[in-house]
Amino acid sequence: MSDLIKELEREYVEKHPGSKKLYERALRCFASGVTHDARYVKPFPIYMVKADGTRKWDVDGNDYVDYVMGHGTLLFGYNDERLTAALKEASAYAHMGSCTELEIEWAEMVKKLVPCARDGLVRACACGGEAIEMATRLARIYTGKDRVVIHEGCYHGKWELINVGRSGPPYGLCNVRGIPKAVRDLVTILPYNNPDLLRKVFAKGDVACIILQGNAPYTKDYIKAIRELTTEYGVVFILDEVVSGFRYAAGGAQEYYGVTPDIAVLGKIVGGGAPIGAICGDPEIMKYHGFRDGDDYWNRFVRIRVGGTWNAQPLSISAGLEAMRIIDRERDKIYPRLYEICDRLTRYLEEAAETSGIDVSAAGVPPERPMVGIGPRFGSGASPLANYVYYLVLANSGVHPFGGSRFIPCFKYTKEDLERTGEAIHRSFEALRKGNLVPPKKS
């Protein structure tokens, strides 16, 4: 086993000498040398210099089929001509600090595509995590209650209130230092897909909202139960569509599941590659962002008083507006192709597991048909080093996954891209078999 890893690491270092030198510099600037947890990989991350379409190139000239895609932002791949043209046009008036017609057109497209926004209102902000904060505050004002319900392992940004359930097990105890107990006590962390337990929590009468991560392994029945229970108990249903928005379907996870939340939080694709966040939904909840002429009490003591330097600025929304226009026009072409690609990646994982005879299955979300974050799930008894070997082989084979193991696709991969990916997966599973890192598949 150690010889296998040493050989793969030797190949990795030989292919990436420039990245190794840059990482040594980065260690003098950043904690662990990285600016995002998902970019931390051993023996060091790969440093990229350019990207185009479905490919990226590193400082050493190696090219990769890319499955990071801006952490899920780039549904259209890198340098889509239509989106870059929109950004170039907006750069002429990048930040006037004023209202623009562009922001109205952007919000109108959000209302057209996102089910919960169609009869509602939209508010722009700088990122998805900031949007979650504002959505939670709106829910608390609307209900007059404080408790927030989230699910185990879900990520909703860096805000301390909703970050307490990210790591575990045990959830609520891992990686929570620095978050006051008084804050943690306002959060209930639940397992997935248990409506009976959820009812018991709601019945206590102190819950303001429940936040779902759109790209998490919920069942359709559970999401429908949440809609029924939140309506019954007067709890605000917030769907975090930062990743799933415009990716599960043109209308996001809520269109895919056929369940409309009270509020949706958007990010990533709604900015077309630029930093963005948005809250949209029920006008009776969203109204707490609004002013009331002549109502001094409302304006001073009720409404949310917030700014935001990058709220709906042209550079933040121009490419997103163009992306939504294309999605609206070409949804019958975009989504069948995206689903086809995701099905192919899933099949590669399953075929490689079958050929290698090891206990691995394809995993992703949504559970019924993975479309986001597709990767391997190793069976019980797998070595903790299995993911590391999987990453090393993929990277050495010219495939760059997100976080070292997952594929977040766009819809533009070529036959050559997919074939390279399939071959890399097969090589990685063979390495896992040879190293005895994953047990044999049970007959």
| Domain locations in the chain as residue ranges | 2-77+331-434, 98-312
* pLDDT for position 442: 85
Question: How would CATH label the architecture of 98-312?
Answer: 3-Layer(aba) Sandwich (3.40)
Contact between 162 and 211 (Cβ < 8 Å):
yes
> Which pLDDT score is estimated for 337?
97
Nearest to 14 by CA among 387, 385, 392: 392
Q: What is the largest CA-CA distance in the chain?
A: 76
- Alpha-carbon distance of 165 to 172, in angstroms, equals 5
DSSP 300: I
CA distance 148 to 440: 43
Cα–Cα–Cα angle for 281, 138, 215, rounded to 5 degrees: 55
Structure tokens at 199: 């009812």
Give the number of other Cβ atoms within 10 Å of residue 126's Cβ. Answer: 18
**81-110 per-position pLDDT tens digit:** 999 999 999 888 888 889 999 999 999 999
Q: Give, for 137, the enclosing helix (H) or strand (E).
A: helix 128-143
Angle between helices 17-26 and 2-15 in degrees, nearest 10: 90
CA dist 114 and 119 (Å) reads 10
Location of structure tokens 């990229």: 48
Task: Give the model's pLDDT for residue 2.
Answer: 83
If DSSP codes are grouped into helix, strand and coil, which group holds residue 138? helix
How many CB atoms neighbour CB 413 within 10 A?
A: 25
Query: What pLDDT does residue 94 have?
Result: 80
CA–CA separation, 45 and 22 (whole Å): 9
Q: How far apart are CA 426 and CA 350, in angstroms?
A: 10
Residues facing residue 51 across a β-bridge: 56
Helix, coil or strand: residue 99:
coil
Q: Which helix (H) or strand (E) covers residue 428, if one does?
A: helix 415-434
- Look at residue 1 in the predicted model and tell me its pLDDT: 55
H or E element in which residue 399 lies: strand 399-401
Q: Mean pLDDT per 10-residue run, the chain (443 residues)?
A: 90 98 98 96 97 98 98 96 93 88 97 98 96 98 98 94 93 95 97 97 98 94 97 98 97 97 98 94 98 97 93 93 98 97 97 97 90 92 96 98 96 98 98 96 82
Task: Give Cα separations from 128 to 65, 123, 343 (angstroms).
Answer: 27, 12, 28
Long-range pairs, 95-101, Cβ under 8 A, ≥24 = 95/309, 95/313, 95/314, 95/315, 96/314, 100/312, 100/314
Q: Residue 341 corresponds to which tokens in the numbers above?
A: 């690609």
CATH topology of domain 2-77+331-434: Aspartate Aminotransferase, domain 1 (3.90.1150)
Report cis status (omega within 30 of 0) of the bond before 314: no
Owner of token pair 């090219």: 63
Question: Per residue in 204-239, is it b (16+ CB within 10 Å) or e — as a string?
Answer: eeebbbbbbbbbbbbeeebbebbbebbeebebbbbb
Q: Tell me how far apart the alpha carbons of residues 310 and 313 are, in angstroms, rounded to a whole number.
A: 5
pLDDT for 282 equals: 98
Q: What is the pLDDT of residue 93?
A: 83
